[in-house]
């Protein structure tokens, strides 16, 4: 569980990172930055910072911020209430992101799998995205991603977002952040 102080510090660090990349947020958006530690209490290694610009019953747009070598754990987007799972396009805006999806395993991957979590990172088909490059992840596709040494910012364009239904390979993960004192 993150403390309010940790949450605020990570939000401020995220805002500085976005500013460095030239991405401007309104004051309301700055306040709405989400810090996701996935309940693992290892945010620098497995975590994600994000801002959701819009999320309607038709589409969603976000910025995903990962600090150097930070990893968003493996997960997939299932069908929800009879609607097909989320399809998302990742477009790299800053830095480099290593994206892994289902498919033939790449001979060598550039990411560093978090120590002791090898069984929770099962897909190894690697795509390396640099600024201006993008990849679309179909619904029901296991995927995970990690920032390079410089960190990364990825714009996500997707169908409706329902993070609370995401299925993670690591059973210890809690997607919705819990903030303590």
How confident is the model at residue 48, as a pLDDT?
A: 95
- The rounded mean pLDDT for the chain is 95
pLDDT tens, position by position, 58-82? 999 999 999 999 999 999 999 999 9
> Across 18-87, where does the E strand assignment appear?
34-36, 48-55, 60-66, 71-76
Tokens representing residue 3 in the block:
């403390």
Segment (H or E) for 27: helix 27-31
Q: Which position has the token pair 């989320």?
A: 86
Segment (H or E) for 15: helix 4-20
Quote the CA–CA distance of 99 and 50 in Å, as a whole number: 17
Mean pLDDT of 96-121: 97
What band does 15 get if pLDDT is binned at 50, 70 and 90? Answer: very high
**Structural domain for 11, as ranges:** 2-180
Bridge partners for 126 per DSSP: 100
Share above pLDDT 70 across residues of the chain, in percent, rounded to a whole number: 99
Looking up residue 114, the CATH number of its domain turns out to be 2.60.120.10
Q: Whole-structure pTM over 0.85, yes or no?
A: yes
Tokens representing residue 22 in the block:
């030239």
Please choose, from the candidates 163, 159, 5, the residue with its C-alpha nearest in 3D space to the C-alpha of residue 73: 163
Q: Answer for the pair 52, 38: CB distance below 8 angstroms, yes or no.
A: no
How confident is the model at residue 139, as a pLDDT?
A: 96
Q: Answer for the pair 99, 127: CB distance below 8 angstroms, yes or no.
A: yes
The total domain count for the chain is 1
How confident is the model at residue 179, as a pLDDT?
A: 75
Residue 177 pLDDT > 90:
no
């Amino acid at each position: 569980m993150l403390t309010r102080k940790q949450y605020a510090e990570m939000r401020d660090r995220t805002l500085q990172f976005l500013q460095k990349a030239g991405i401007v947020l309104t004051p309301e958006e700055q306040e709405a930055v989400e810090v996701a530690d996935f309940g693992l209490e290892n945010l620098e290694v497995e975590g994600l910072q994000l801002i959701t610009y819009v999320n309607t019953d038709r589409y969603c747009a976000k910025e995903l911020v990962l600090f150097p070598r930070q990893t968003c754990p493996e997960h997939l987007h299932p069908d929800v209430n009879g609607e097909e799972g989320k399809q998302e396009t990742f477009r790299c805006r800053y830095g480099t992101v290593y994206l892994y999806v289902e498919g033939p395993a790449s001979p060598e991957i550039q990411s560093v799998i978090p120590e002791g979590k090898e069984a929770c990172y099962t897909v190894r088909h690697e795509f390396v995205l640099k600024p201006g490059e993008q990849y679309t992840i179909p619904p029901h596709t296991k995927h995970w991603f990690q920032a390079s040494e410089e960190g990364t910012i990825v714009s996500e364009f997707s169908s409706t977002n329902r993070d609370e239904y995401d299925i993670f390979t690591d059973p210890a993960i809690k997607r919705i952040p819990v903030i303590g004192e």
